[in-house]
A = this chain, B = another copy of it.
Amino acid sequence: MKHFLWILALVVLSTVELVVAQSSQGIDDFKPSEVNQPGKAFPQVNSEGRVRAQISAPEAKLVQLDIGGVKYDMVKDENGLWTGESEPQDEGFHYYQLNIDGASVPDPGTKYFYGAGRWGSGIEIPAHDRDFYAMKEVPHGLVSEVNYFSKLTQSFRRCFVYTPPGYETNADKRYPVLYLQHGSFEDETGWPGQGKANLILDNLIAARKAVPMIIVMDNGYAFQPNDKAAAHARPVSVFEEVMITEIIPIIDARFRTLPDRKHRAIAGLSMGANQTMRIIMNNLDKFSSYGGFSGTSNYPSASEIDPATFLNGQFNDGKNVNEQIDVFWLGLGTKEPEPFPGSVGAFRKMLEKQGIGYEYYESPETAHEWQTWRRSLYQFSQLLFQD
């Protein structure tokens, strides 16, 4: 009986597949993605930026490629191998997943990256400007994993620390530090992983376009253990306190930093841009430069900002802000969706009204994704510590 039912199910399903079958739409120059697992031929990308995924699922009824907010039906061949393609994707890195009979799972062909609140598949659409984050024969800095116990959160936390080429051998030299934060539903692996922060700086330093600097990449989620996040309330972040009273002292004790405000910058993307703007404006004795990549602290509002009240009035005295901050930098992708352009735009208007100087960069043809943020780091880091 069981055997018969399986056969009946298969017959029914085969019919379903014929109904949904479709053929390839793309230019046939697909190549394996550069973030595939060793030896894996799929997923692939073509010159239009289409993604072609493939997975063996002989008994499945429906397999979909889920990328960029769209689920593309894949097609099964006689061997049970499903293949499917997406529409062209933007240049750069994207998270994606497969859907197998309703189960959302990582594609076993790719390496995995933390984003969207999960470890999942990623793909690289080769960008025209990918040279600036390519692995090259230049001196490479180290990325070190630092584990530490946080008294504030009563938990073990972790940051990654980039030390530039020459750090180990120039034992008397001290370096400026950039604190660099990820976005929401990401973690401390974002910048050294898909962000390629180390390669961006290795290449810039080799070309003498950036000052050798230390980069600290920590986790922006920090809560106290007694803050139980009841269903009706969001827990209160203590990330600013962790940054000021735990992370910075640990880094200054363990690495050869220049431990003063002049040689300390802070930046972040999206949620991290919002967090780090608050941190610098509340701690101008600790930091002298700021980078906000696709985010500002008025997020998600696009309304006019009242500098007398916004962030406790920290932008009210524009002259003081200009004197205190060496680099105030904002970046945004030209394809970012609301609320980002609206809230960043409202923030810029406030800066201009207050006469506060700032740099503004737009990443061409990229959305709220890592290519915008790689380019932002590339632009921003060249301006830091120029004295």
Query: Which positions in A face B, CB cutoff 8 Å?
Result: 1-2, 5-6, 8-9, 12-13, 15-16, 19-20, 37-39, 55-63, 80, 98, 100-106, 108, 111-112, 117-120, 135, 137, 140, 142-149, 156, 161, 168-169, 171, 187, 192, 253-255
A1: which B residues are within 8 A, CB to CB?
Answer: 19
Contact with A102, one of B5, B80, B105, B255 (Cβ below 8 angstroms): B80
Number of copies: 2
Report the separation of the CA atoms of residues A56 and B144 in the bound assembly, to the nearest whole angstrom. 37
Contact among B59, B148, B156 for A62, CB-based, below 8 A: B59
B169 touches A254 (CB 8 A): yes
Ordered by A's residue number, 20 sampled pairs between the chains whose C-beta atoms are within 8 Å are: A1-B19, A2-B20, A5-B12, A5-B15, A9-B16, A9-B61, A38-B117, A56-B102, A56-B103, A57-B102, A58-B101, A59-B61, A61-B101, A100-B103, A100-B105, A105-B106, A105-B108, A135-B147, A145-B192, A171-B171
| Assembled-state Cα–Cα distance A143/B112 (Å) | 20
Closest to A62 in B: B59
What residues of chain B lie closer than 8 Å to A120, measured between beta carbons?
108
**Counting chain B CB atoms within 10 Å of each CB, which of A168, A171, A255 scores highest?**
A168
Inter-chain contacts of A104 with B (CB < 8 A):
56, 108
CB distance from A107 to the nearest CB of B (A): 8
- Give Cα A185 to B187, complex, Å: 28
- A119's partner among B56, B112, B156, B171 (CB-CB below 8 A) is B112
Q: Is the CB of A58 within 8 A of B102?
A: yes
> Is B117 within 8 A of A135, CB to CB?
no
From the candidates B15, B101, B144, name the one contacting A60 in the complex (CB within 8 A).
B101
